[in-house]
């Protein structure tokens, strides 16, 4: 489980330093939104990100490492392979 590379959706809970954690994850190639063609931009919930090419194991490792680097307690996280996105 978790070794297949694909589009990954990562959701996590932390109590502090949200902006720094999200910015560090974005520097690792994670996105907080998506857009198809000339349609609207869809934003994910505040502590949810996606990555174009990652395994779920690697995504969990990334959020753990970022939280360690920034001295932020990671309360919980889940990473799943996502093949279809529907948003509102």
Hey, where are the domains in the chain?
6-81
Question: What pLDDT is recorded for position 5?
Answer: 84
0.85 surpassed by pTM: yes
Q: 3-state DSSP call for residue 29?
A: coil
What's 6-81's CATH class? alpha beta
Cα separation, 85 vs 29, whole angstroms = 18
**What is the pLDDT averaged over residues 42-62?**
95
**What is the pLDDT averaged over residues 32-51?**
91
């Amino acid at each position: 489980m978790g070794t297949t590379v694909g589009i990954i959706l990562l959701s996590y809970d932390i109590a502090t330093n949200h902006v720094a954690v999200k910015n560090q994850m974005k520097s690792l190639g994670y996105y907080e939104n998506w857009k198809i063609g000339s349609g609207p931009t869809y934003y994910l919930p505040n502590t949810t990100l996606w990555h174009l090419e990652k395994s779920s194991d690697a995504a969990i490792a990334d959020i753990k490492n970022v939280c360690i680097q920034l001295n932020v307690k990671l309360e919980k996280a889940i990473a799943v392979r996502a093949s279809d996105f529907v948003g509102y």
